[in-house]
Amino acid sequence: MPPEFPCFDFARGTKYPEQATASVGPAFYRPGSTIAHVPISLDRPSPNTVIARVMTEDGTGLVRGIAGVNYQSVSTSVIFRPGDPLTKTVAVPIILGIPQADFLFRFVEAPWGAKMGTDRAYVQCDFLQEPTAEQIEGREPRS
């Protein structure tokens, strides 16, 4: 295991460590962007593999983001293995970024191997907010 992997107390095999909580974070992108990066995060390291199924959903505000018009629909899984970074991002292709247009990014169901925290968040086109950065740290995926 990586040296930064935390030591979990299993009380000599009599208990499991507290489960991590998975959450979807809000995200911002600028007009003219071709990708929005949406963060999915755990609140603590976990000895479990955590699988979070996520998807996009049309916005609900006055300036609604619509799949196929403003963004391309995404439905995927985010996998956190023990020792992985606590935040990963999902790339959502942007077709037409209109200022203040928003859409939702949410869990399809409760994450496997973790508790559910914030289950949905807005992804908004905003020229005043700093765009959400892509998470690029971490281990290479297993082949």
pLDDT in tens, 34-78: 999 999 999 999 888 999 999 999 998 888 999 999 999 999 999
Per the DSSP assignment, residues forming a β-bridge with 101 are: none
The predicted pLDDT at position 137 comes to: 77
pTM: 0.85
From CA 127, how far away is CA 19, in angstroms rounded? 37
Nearest of 17, 23, 29 to residue 121 by alpha carbon? 23
10 Å Cβ neighbour count for 139?
10
Does 2 have pLDDT greater than 50? no
Q: Exposed, middle or buried by CB within 10 Å (0-12, 13-18, 19+), for 13?
A: exposed
pLDDT above 60 (res 8): yes
